[in-house]
Chains A and B, each alone.
Chain A
Amino acid sequence: MTRDVLGMGVTHFRDAVAANELRVTEAVDASFVRAGEVGAGRDGLNAILWSDEEASHREAAALSKRVERSVGARPTHGSGTELLGVPVAVKDNIATLTLPTTCGSRILGGYVSPFEATVVSRLRAAGAVVVAKTNMDEFAMGSSTENSAYGPTRNPLDRTRVPGGSSGGSAAAVAAGVVRVALGSETGGSVRQPAAFCGIVGVKPTYGRVSRYGLVAFASSLDQVGVFGATVDDAAAVMEVIAGRDVLDSTTPPEPAVPPYRAAAHESVQGLVVGRPKEYFPSSLDPRIRERCDRALHVLEGLGATVKEVSLKHTDLAIPVYYIVAPAEASSNLARFDGARYGLRVHGDGLRGMYEATRSAGFGPEVTRRILLGTYVLSAGYYDAYYKKAQEVRALIAGDFASVFAGRVDVLFTPTTPTPAFPLGAKSDPYEMYLSDIFTATANLAGVPAMSVPIGRVDGLPVGGQLIANHFREDTMFRAAYALERALGQEAHR
């Protein structure tokens, strides 16, 4: 009888391998079979851009020595067995050594990194195997994964719709059952929004909790590596492995220490104070999404939590602030892609001509638009009116969160997105697309951790509930998320 190894939680799979009940290669091999069945590649979902089945199988087979070591031993942190044989998909802006890292862009077409991201090194050190690099909006600029130079990704639950973005390929790979866990990146909601659209779990850690070394920079004051999981436990298991100090990223502090997220998630929510920020429930919110959120809050109350109405009064300013700060930082970060040192080179008139021809041919329309917008708001005469003003209002947004958490609120609950997944091609106006991030960009601006969990469906499409905690309190966030997941059960997926 064929065992559904991809239906097992990642720690259950790891335990079965350690007990010699399953081969260490089994989940990796099953992942490639599943990718073929669902059409995860270019001609189907277009979730996976790059993979190498033979190399991944070899890497998994080489873990057999660790299996011998793991038999009867606890998979403690640093044992090298925490994710033994677990297949993982990685967004295409996170550096890997053997597969390309193109950021979904023509300008990095064919580029294979000469170094590896810390998060990938940590996953591999724990026994995980990278099986795929996943599609994304070019340089993570987008909310639908339609901006990829390699074509759009489709939502596995309804292939006429987007999976969200910018980490849509990773979300689609998890939702299609190709992998249980995947890495994405967050700048304004690029993990939580696709997680909501695809009916899975998506985590954005506190700014500084996870190393960004090897994550291609978009907006450095906002960027974080994030995690997708089929369940809260799967995501927490990956977070335990990748979180913590990295000397290669000076924004990762040594303190506070990384708590055991999985164990924390299993603690009771009795006495937990859940804030319901009124600005995230405007009168224009789809009543069916409001109803799913209210149901989730009632569930948490039933488990002993207290729900408290709170206010984050600068919420409606988050999108204008975000779309000044992020393009400004992007215009600087993307200056390095000029044809000189890596990637595409297109010859023009002299050195400057090469820069302009390379960047014109290499960047897609949305990236070009944001580079110009960012250059404009930083340019002489406009800096104070736009960029400095946005930095000031960002301080107000961060202050809103600080006040709420200082007022004895443990975690906030909101809808992750104002709508479920929309049809491919439905949003042609850039600003309309930017509004997809309206409930998620605030957490990036404030640097606090946030995650999306499935809380039901509308017209068959998933709805995500967002949990936001104070800095470095991912443990509290996981506790509320796990309680909600367990209590809702299958109701979260219908």
Chain B
Amino acid sequence: MAVTENDVRHVAALARVGLPAARVPELVAELNRILDHMDVLSQVDTAAVQPVAGVAAGGAPLRVDGGPQIALARSRDAFVPQTRDGFILVPRLATHEEAPASAADAADLRDAGGAGGGVPS
């Protein structure tokens, strides 16, 4: 099962990762080299084996809903890239990806201060 350029573009879209066009053929080669090593699994007889998703003692118990409240040591404003009136501010959904962002949205974002996060230089 060889990965194609279309596959890479498809999974990148699913994963919401933007890829420069030049990176696509490189990733095709890299992923295929990795997946070649995975093909050995297809030769293992697992007809009588139940798959396991985890190895926690007693499975993966659910925590009681409404468990202990963890007070945050700092307000959301300290770590959220953009807020307004106590809400997290994000770009408009752009009518489910089809339409470009409106000029008003772009202006909103500029007003709110542009990129957040503070990557160290």
A residues with a Cβ closer than 8 A to B are 97, 106-107, 109-116, 206-208, 220-221, 247-248, 250-251, 253, 314, 317, 319-321, 323-324, 331, 335, 338-357, 359-360, 363, 368-369, 371-373, 375-376, 379, 382, 385-386, 388-396, 398, 429-431, 434, 445-447, 471-472
B52: CB under 8 A from chain A? yes
The answer to whether B115 touches A345 (Cβ under 8 A) is: yes
The answer to whether A109 touches B120 (Cβ under 8 A) is: yes
The answer to whether B93 touches A350 (Cβ under 8 A) is: yes
Closest chain B CB from A227 CB (angstroms): 20
**Closest B residue by C-beta to A334:** B15
Closest chain B CB from A251 CB (angstroms): 4
Closest chain B CB from A454 CB (angstroms): 28
Given contacts A111-B79, A382-B1, A349 and B18 within 8 Å (CB-CB): no
B68: CB under 8 A from chain A? yes
Closest chain B CB from A321 CB (angstroms): 7
23 A-B pairs in the complex with CB atoms less than 8 angstroms apart:
A107-B117, A110-B117, A111-B79, A112-B79, A206-B57, A221-B56, A253-B58, A317-B41, A323-B37, A342-B117, A348-B18, A350-B99, A350-B100, A356-B16, A360-B17, A360-B18, A369-B31, A372-B12, A373-B31, A375-B15, A391-B53, A398-B55, A472-B57
Closest chain B CB from A426 CB (angstroms): 18
Q: Please measure, in the bound complex, the distance between the C-alpha atom of A349 and the C-alpha atom of B102, giving whole angstroms.
A: 9
Given contacts A360-B17, A392-B49, A114 and B79 within 8 Å (CB-CB): yes
Closest chain B CB from A108 CB (angstroms): 8
Closest chain B CB from A279 CB (angstroms): 15
Q: Which of B23-61 contact A (CB under 8 A)?
A: 27, 30-31, 33-35, 37-38, 40-42, 44, 46, 49-58, 60-61
Given contacts A111-B79, A112-B74, A350-B101, A208 and B119 within 8 Å (CB-CB): no
User: What 9 pairs between A and B have smallest CB-CB spacing?
Assistant: A447-B55, A350-B94, A110-B118, A109-B119, A391-B51, A356-B18, A360-B18, A392-B46, A114-B72
Closest chain B CB from A441 CB (angstroms): 13
9 additional A-B residue pairs with CB within 8 Å, beyond A251-B60, A356-B16, A392-B49:
A109-B117, A112-B79, A248-B70, A342-B81, A350-B93, A350-B97, A376-B31, A434-B34, A447-B55
B107: CB under 8 A from chain A? no
The answer to whether B1 touches A351 (Cβ under 8 A) is: no
The answer to whether A340 touches B81 (Cβ under 8 A) is: yes
**Closest A residue by C-beta to B80:** A341
Closest chain B CB from A351 CB (angstroms): 5
Question: Cβ of B58: which chain A residues have Cβ within 8 Å of it?
Answer: 253
Q: Please measure, in the bound complex, the distance between the C-alpha atom of A373 and the C-alpha atom of B51, giving whole angstroms.
A: 20
**Closest B residue by C-beta to A339:** B81
Question: Cβ of A320: which chain B residues have Cβ within 8 Å of it?
Answer: 37-38, 40-41
Closest chain B CB from A360 CB (angstroms): 4
The answer to whether B79 touches A350 (Cβ under 8 A) is: no
**Closest B residue by C-beta to A109:** B119
B residues with a Cβ closer than 8 A to A are 1, 3, 7-8, 10-12, 14-20, 27, 30-31, 33-35, 37-38, 40-42, 44, 46, 49-58, 60-63, 67-68, 70, 72-76, 78-82, 88, 90-94, 97, 99-101, 105, 109, 114-120
**Closest A residue by C-beta to B109:** A347
Closest chain A CB from B12 CB (angstroms): 6
The answer to whether A351 touches B49 (Cβ under 8 A) is: no
The answer to whether A446 touches B116 (Cβ under 8 A) is: no
The answer to whether A394 touches B52 (Cβ under 8 A) is: yes
Q: Please measure, in the bound complex, the distance between the C-alpha atom of A396 and the C-alpha atom of B48, giving whole angstroms.
A: 10
**Closest B residue by C-beta to A342:** B79
**Closest B residue by C-beta to A249:** B63
Which one, B12, B16, B94, contacts A349 given CB within 8 A?
Answer: B94
Closest chain B CB from A409 CB (angstroms): 19
Question: Cβ of B109: which chain A residues have Cβ within 8 Å of it?
Answer: 347
The answer to whether B17 touches A363 (Cβ under 8 A) is: yes
Question: Cβ of A386: which chain B residues have Cβ within 8 Å of it?
Answer: 35, 38, 41
Which one, A115, A345, A398, contacts B72 given CB within 8 A?
Answer: A115
Interface core residue of A314, A368, A376, A430 (most chain B CB under 10 Å)? A376
Q: Please measure, in the bound complex, the distance between the C-alpha atom of A342 and the C-alpha atom of B74, giving whole angstroms.
A: 13
The answer to whether A355 touches B100 (Cβ under 8 A) is: no
Given contacts A354-B90, A372-B8, A391-B51, A345 and B117 within 8 Å (CB-CB): yes
Question: Cβ of B70: which chain A residues have Cβ within 8 Å of it?
Answer: 115, 248
**Closest A residue by C-beta to B17:** A359
Q: Please measure, in the bound complex, the distance between the C-alpha atom of A110 and the C-alpha atom of B30, giving whole angstroms.
A: 31
Question: Cβ of B115: which chain A residues have Cβ within 8 Å of it?
Answer: 344-347
The answer to whether B17 touches A251 (Cβ under 8 A) is: no
Question: Cβ of B78: which chain A residues have Cβ within 8 Å of it?
Answer: 112, 114
Question: Cβ of A472: which chain B residues have Cβ within 8 Å of it?
Answer: 57
Closest chain B CB from A283 CB (angstroms): 19
The answer to whether B37 touches A319 (Cβ under 8 A) is: yes
Question: Cβ of A349: which chain B residues have Cβ within 8 Å of it?
Answer: 94, 100-101
The answer to whether A351 touches B90 (Cβ under 8 A) is: yes
Q: Please measure, in the bound complex, the distance between the C-alpha atom of A60 and the C-alpha atom of B3, giving whole angstroms.
A: 55
Question: Cβ of B88: which chain A residues have Cβ within 8 Å of it?
Answer: 340-341
Closest chain A CB from B68 CB (angstroms): 6
Which one, B1, B16, B44, B119, contacts A352 given CB within 8 A?
Answer: B16
Question: Cβ of B80: which chain A residues have Cβ within 8 Å of it?
Answer: 341-342
**Closest B residue by C-beta to A250:** B63
Question: Cβ of B40: which chain A residues have Cβ within 8 Å of it?
Answer: 317, 320
Q: Please measure, in the bound complex, the distance between the C-alpha atom of A431 and the C-alpha atom of B76, giving whole angstroms.
A: 40
Q: Please measure, in the bound complex, the distance between the C-alpha atom of A431 and the C-alpha atom of B88, giving whole angstroms.
A: 40
Q: Please measure, in the bound complex, the distance between the C-alpha atom of A111 and the C-alpha atom of B74, giving whole angstroms.
A: 12
Question: Cβ of B120: which chain A residues have Cβ within 8 Å of it?
Answer: 109-110
